[in-house]
A and B are shown apart, each in its own frame.
Chain A
Amino acid sequence: GSGGAGPRPPPGCPQRRLGARERREMQREVLAVLGLPGRPRPRAPPAAARLPASAPLFMLDLYHATAGDDDEDGGPPPRGLGRADLVMSFVNVVERDRALAPQEPRWKEFRFDLTQIPAGEVVAAAELRVYKLPSPRQGNRTLHVSTFAVFAQHANRESDLFFLDLQTLRAGDEGWLVMDVTAASDRWLLDGTKDLGLRLYVETEDGHSVDPGLAGLLGRRAPRSKQPFMVTFFRASPSPVRAPR
């Protein structure tokens, strides 16, 4: 094979360089075995906005955690992925913060592009993952983080929101906050929503609204390994019949 980094076969193993036609045939063959319709062409990210690393790091851990199941002999679905055989993580494409009038609740909204979800897939579970830093301003009081799906937006009145999850934490906590947004998936599968908005509100015990950013919830301006992302587990569908070779 060609030089360059990457594992090299042990010495003495017969190797052969693939010709152009062979390479195309091998690509088609391996794509078929991997169950991929074709070779995706990821968009090269603009240099300034390099891709967040949080989703790939999470998914790589998931890949290694379930790789051991690849040698099971076609028995019941593996434990690692449960009933899922397709897991998609979505990068947060747009982020909006809102704090108009002081008395209005403040929120932080993340939007996700769902166009790549294959038709006919059934969602088993979906999570929004946001990293939280300790927020010294809040001392160590209790905070409630509510998550809503934005179903419809209106120019002259509040958006139509759908409650998804409530988490209670301490202001001094740090780490990944995992919100269950599975309930929103019925909607986006039924009406083919391609642009999903998830909105976070933070309140104190006595109901005062807190700016999610001041509460330590990170957004797109966070370090690449701590940017928010969404993960969706799709229910196992019957494996495609492998065409005999």
Chain B
Amino acid sequence: AVRPLKRRPPKKNNELPHPNKLPGIFDDVHGSDGRRVCRRHELYVSFQDLDWLDWVIAPQGYSAYYCEGECSFPLDSCMNATNHAILQSLVHLMKPDTVPKACCAPTKLSATSVLYYDSSNNVILRKHRNMVVKACGCH
């Protein structure tokens, strides 16, 4: 499910927007060359839909962000944003002056916690850090 997020004012000037200042998710803004800027989505899977309510106490579902769309930096390929970001990161390392850093690379990994019953009806709280992408270079 996609939750409505706070919208940031689109940039005024006509140059290509700075890689890390791209508009928010619902601004269907196109880059100066007309291509659709990559957009952030939220994937939410309800544990009820996975039939897990008999063992998971909290949370009620799993939520993560991902980028979709063509990254605004022209490598002229049509792979999805994450793969594009990985490839562009490599190219940027080789030619830092000519190819900018990819905007969709994750910049923040967040922890995730789950509270559940194990097979002996003990209650377990498990926490893993750096497991869920919650922010990337363009959002």
**Which partner residue on chain A sits nearest B66 by CB separation?**
A245
Q: Is A85's CB under 8 angstroms from B126's CB?
A: yes
The distance from the CB of A69 to the nearest CB of chain B, in whole angstroms, is 7
Q: Which chain A positions have C-beta within 8 A of B90? A: none
For the complex, is B134 an interface residue (Cβ under 8 Å from A)? yes
- Interface residues as binary, B50-62 with A (CB distance below 8 Å gives 1, 0 otherwise): 1111110111111
Q: Is A88's CB under 8 angstroms from B49's CB?
A: no
The distance from the CB of A99 to the nearest CB of chain B, in whole angstroms, is 30
Using C-beta atoms within 8 Å of the partner chain, give the interface range for chain B: 35 or more
- Interface residues as binary, A21-48 with B (CB distance below 8 Å gives 1, 0 otherwise): 0010011001001111001111101000
**Which partner residue on chain B sits nearest A7 by CB separation?**
B60
Q: Which chain A positions have C-beta within 8 A of B112? A: 33-34, 70
Q: Specify which of B1, B108, B117 lies most central, judged by the most chain A CB atoms within 10 Å of its CB.
A: B1
Q: Which chain A positions have C-beta within 8 A of B128? A: 33-35, 85, 239-240
**Also in contact, A26 and B129, with CB within 8 A (given A13-B3, A116-B120):** no
**Option from B45, B124, B125, B129 in Cβ contact (under 8 Å) with A239:** B129
The distance from the CB of B120 to the nearest CB of chain A, in whole angstroms, is 5
The number of chain A residues with a CB under 8 A from chain B is: 59
Interface positions of B from 105 to 136, Cβ below 8 Å from A: 108-132, 134
Per the bound structure, the CA–CA distance linking A23 and B132 in Å amounts to: 20
Q: Specify which of B60, B61, B128 lies most central, judged by the most chain A CB atoms within 10 Å of its CB.
A: B128
Per the bound structure, the CA–CA distance linking A29 and B84 in Å amounts to: 22
Per the bound structure, the CA–CA distance linking A64 and B59 in Å amounts to: 10
The distance from the CB of A103 to the nearest CB of chain B, in whole angstroms, is 38
**Which partner residue on chain A sits nearest B51 by CB separation?**
A23
Report whether over half of chain A's contact residues are helix, strand or loop; otherwise say mixed. loop
**Which partner residue on chain B sits nearest A2 by CB separation?**
B49
**Also in contact, A63 and B49, with CB within 8 A (given A33-B132, A43-B120):** no
**Option from B52, B61, B124 in Cβ contact (under 8 Å) with A87:** B124
**Which partner residue on chain B sits nearest A41 by CB separation?**
B119
- Interface residues as binary, B32-60 with A (CB distance below 8 Å gives 1, 0 otherwise): 00000000000011101111111101111
Q: Is B113's CB under 8 angstroms from A66's CB?
A: yes
Q: Is B108's CB under 8 angstroms from A34's CB?
A: no
For the complex, is A242 an interface residue (Cβ under 8 Å from B)? yes
**Which partner residue on chain A sits nearest B125 by CB separation?**
A87
Segment touching B, from A52-60, A182-190, A204-212: A52-60
Segment touching B, from A71-79, A127-135, A156-164: A71-79
Q: Which chain B positions have C-beta within 8 A of A86? A: 124-127
Q: Is B131's CB under 8 angstroms from A33's CB?
A: yes
**Which partner residue on chain A sits nearest B4 by CB separation?**
A10
For the complex, is B94 an interface residue (Cβ under 8 Å from A)? no
For the complex, is B2 an interface residue (Cβ under 8 Å from A)? yes
The distance from the CB of A64 to the nearest CB of chain B, in whole angstroms, is 8
| Chain A contact residues, CB within 8 Å of chain B | 1-2, 4, 6-7, 9-10, 13-15, 17-18, 23, 26-27, 30, 33-36, 39-43, 45, 51, 55-56, 59-60, 62-64, 66-67, 69-74, 77-78, 81, 85-91, 113, 115-116, 239-240, 242, 245
Can you give 6 contacting A-B residue pairs, CB < 8 Å?
A: A55-B123, A70-B112, A72-B129, A74-B109, A85-B128, A88-B124
The 3 closest A-B pairs by CB, nearest first: A9-B1, A13-B1, A42-B117
Question: A33-B62, A78-B127, A115-B120 are known contacts; what are 11 more A-B pairs with Cβ within 8 Å?
Answer: A7-B60, A18-B45, A33-B131, A34-B114, A66-B125, A72-B110, A73-B110, A85-B128, A86-B127, A89-B123, A113-B120
